[in-house]
């Protein structure tokens, strides 16, 4: 499934902005946007990997540009979003996907710097992205923003308090922004993925092989997701087919939170 990218013109003439675009779900979303006609701005901290994804997209004849970006840095985010309007003249869609992983810690053992960095990237980063994306999308006449939350944004999970708090925050921030801008033509929603086969997950499984089965058992569907399966949901929320969806937290998790 990882290479099954269907080509359509669904996003022809539109410009998409994707954070965390150098790998995993962000890479999958960037490839899908481009395959379906969008011009894509890719933002990520990993320059070499990000440039490689942009070059891969350009090799198909689509347009893509990479911008090295720390989403926790407001000035860097502003420059990255401005690249969309400066390079392509508009911004129509944004998928705020950037994230990070950290070692498990109970609350009393959580280092302050780990807490702050997690919140800075995965909650404040989404705020900073929307703060810059919304004016650009309004200038283009409307569009869609999808924020990547998590199944952990709907339930608790021991040892991951910073991650869980950030993802709960993303869902609340999404709902507030959706109510503020829905009547102005911006559909703002979030998705709540389960575990996907990303580089971060594969690194952890490589170190702890028995974790693979544990992760699969957490999902009633009996497996973890491919990145493209999550990206497809994000893209759907950016289409006219999702025109009456606003402020939702869409679970794409193989039944994880339905248990």
Could you give the residue numbers annotated as active site? Answer: 163
Neighbour tally for 107: CB within 10 Å:
11
Task: Write out the DSSP string of the chain.
Answer: -TT------TTTT-EEEEESTTSHHHHHHHHHHHHTT-EEEEEES-HHHHHHHHHHHHTTT--EEEEE--TT-HHHHHHHHHHHHHHHS---EEEE--------B-GGG--HHHHHHHHIIIIIHHHHHHHHHHHHHHHTT-EEEEEE--GGGTS--TTBHHHHHHHHHHHHHHHHHHHHHGGGTEEEEEEEE--B--HHHHHHHHH-TTHHHHHHHHSTTSSPBPHHHHHHHHHHTTSGGGTT--S-EEEESTTGGG-
Whole-angstrom distance, CA of residue 139 vs CA of residue 104: 42
Angle between helix axes 47-58 and 24-35 (nearest 10 degrees) is 20
């Amino acid at each position: 499934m990882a290479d099954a990218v269907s080509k359509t013109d669904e996003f022809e003439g539109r410009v998409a902005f994707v954070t965390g675009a150098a790998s995993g779900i962000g890479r999958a979303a960037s490839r899908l946007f481009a395959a379906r006609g969008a011009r894509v701005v890719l933002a990520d901290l990993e320059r070499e990997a990000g440039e490689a994804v942009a070059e891969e997209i350009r090799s198909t004849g689509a347009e893509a540009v990479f911008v090295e970006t720390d989403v926790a840095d407001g000035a860097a985010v502003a420059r990255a979003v401005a690249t969309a309007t400066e390079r392509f003249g508009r911004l129509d869609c944004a998928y705020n996907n950037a994230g990070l992983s950290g070692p498990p810690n109970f609350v009393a053992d959580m280092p302050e710097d780990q807490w702050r960095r997690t919140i800075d990237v995965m909650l404040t980063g989404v705020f900073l992205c929307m703060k810059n994306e919304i004016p650009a999308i309004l200038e283009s006449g409307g569009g869609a923003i999808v924020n990547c939350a998590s199944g952990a944004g709907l339930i608790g999970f021991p040892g991951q308090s910073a991650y869980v708090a950030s993802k709960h925050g993303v869902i609340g921030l999404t709902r507030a922004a959706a109510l503020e801008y829905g009547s102005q033509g911006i559909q703002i929603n979030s998705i709540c993925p389960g575990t996907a086969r990303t580089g971060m997950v594969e690194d952890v499984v490589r170190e702890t092989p028995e974790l693979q089965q544990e992760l699969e058992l957490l999902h009633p569907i009996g497996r973890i997701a491919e990145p493209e399966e999550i990206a497809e949901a994000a893209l759907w929320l950016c289409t006219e087919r999702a025109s009456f969806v606003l402020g939702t937290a869409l679970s794409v998790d193989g039944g994880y939170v339905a248990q």
